[in-house]
Amino acid sequence: MVPKIMKQGRLAPLLYLGPALIIMLIFVIYPTFNTIVLSFMDRSGTQSAAVECTSGEPCWGVFENYRYALTDPLMLTALRNNALWLLLMVPGTVAVGLIFALLADRVRYESLAKSIVFMPMAISFIGAGVIWRFVYYIQTGGGPQIGLLNAILVKLGAQPVAFLSDSRINNFALMIVGVWLWAGFCMTILSAAVKGLPGEVLEAARVDGASEWHLFWRVMFPMILPTVVVVTTTMVINVLKIFDIVFVMTGGNFGTEVIANRMFQLIVTDTGKSMAIAVLLIVLTIPVMVFNVRRFRAEEAMR
């Protein structure tokens, strides 16, 4: 791999790698371990978490913060919601991205259409939150509805809906914002995979009389599956860390709490619990991390 002709001093790799390694050591590796330590400490990060126990209530000793992270009702809501996001929003976004990539592939204004769907990627979550407030807003005190969706509902003769505070639907409303933001990302990557498919194979299948539906499921999908997997894992990570959308739109109220927002809310008032939640977050991402490293190794082996 590396040309053997070039002599290199023993120090050379260190000089090139050194700055990056030192910075990563200080800003990624050290704090990760420190966070794990803090997760066993009390709210100020000075004594063992066991001091947080109150007598007469269940206590996990030094694991007290983890008791909170795993049993507190608000945390259970957060865990449930993150699971909901994983189960619905991730497949939803990948599917929307894939469908759009396949459709746009067949028209001449493809790049324009793709730019439109891709555009939210340039917008901050905070900005997206402002944008979607105008879609979901409900006017409760009489007067015309100024939120787009409720205006449509009222026009159709239905009752306005409190999209962000009705706990039966608000999680879905937030997920739609997520799909809106990320479908462009999935689309772009999947579109490249679709374009990379060998034309002869598709042509041959068409000549053999395969319907477009069959063509997709039997020929195209298996061939782009690796890319679908990559996109899905990236989305899984994004969704586990989902924070800004919820923070800016509902603040985690009305049953929309998610793990990362809980962590943020406690960061000042109760470091120990906050860090335990952060550790929980990384534990949840470990399977994805292992998967990515394995995939990377397999790719390297083929290089």
Residues 157-176 that bind another protein (CB under 8 A): none
Is residue 80 within the footprint of another protein (CB under 8 A)?
no
Chain mean position to CA 66: 23
Q: What is the closest distance, in whole angstroms, from the C-beta atom of residue 36 to another protein in the complex?
A: 9
Is residue 269 within the footprint of another protein (CB under 8 A)?
no
Is residue 116 within the footprint of another protein (CB under 8 A)?
yes
Give dist(CA 17, CA 289) in Å, integer.
23
Q: Which of residues 17 and 76 has its CB atom nearest to another protein in the complex?
A: 17
Q: What is the closest distance, in whole angstroms, from the C-beta atom of residue 264 to another protein in the complex?
A: 7
Of 70, 84, 123, 162, which lies in the binding site for another protein, with binding defined by CB under 8 A? 123
Q: What is the closest distance, in whole angstroms, from the C-beta atom of residue 45 to another protein in the complex?
A: 8
Is residue 300 within the footprint of another protein (CB under 8 A)?
yes
Q: Please give the residues from 172 up to 231 whose contact with another protein meets the rule CB under 8 A.
A: 180, 183, 185, 188-189, 192-193, 227, 230-231
Of 62, 241, 253, 255, which lies in the binding site for another protein, with binding defined by CB under 8 A? 241
Q: Which of residues 54 and 64 has its CB atom nearest to another protein in the complex?
A: 64
Q: What is the closest distance, in whole angstroms, from the C-beta atom of residue 57 to another protein in the complex?
A: 26
Of 74, 76, 87, 119, which lies in the binding site for another protein, with binding defined by CB under 8 A? 119
Angle among Cα 259, 36, 60 to the nearest 5 degrees reads 75
Residues 6+ apart with CB under 8 A from 70: 280
Is residue 232 within the footprint of another protein (CB under 8 A)?
no
Angle among Cα 12, 17, 21 to the nearest 5 degrees reads 145
Is residue 49 within the footprint of another protein (CB under 8 A)?
no
The answer to whether the beta carbons of residues 187 and 114 sit under 8 Å apart is yes
Backbone angles phi and psi of 41, in degrees to 5: -105, 175
Is residue 126 within the footprint of another protein (CB under 8 A)?
yes
Would you state the torsion angle of the CA atoms of residues 167, 131, 91, 263, taken in this order, to the nearest 10 degrees?
A: -60
Give dist(CA 276, CA 49) in Å, integer.
10
Task: Identify the burial level of 75 via C-beta atoms within 10 angstroms of its C-beta, where 0-12 means exposed, 13-18 middle and 19 or more buried.
Answer: buried
Instruction: Quote the DSSP letter at residue 49.
Output: G
Q: Which of residues 62 and 284 has its CB atom nearest to another protein in the complex?
A: 284
Q: Please give the residues from 133 up to 162 whose contact with another protein meets the rule CB under 8 A.
A: 133-135, 143-148, 151
Q: Please give the residues from 54 up to 73 whose contact with another protein meets the rule CB under 8 A.
A: none
Residues 6+ apart with CB under 8 A from 280: 66, 69, 70, 259
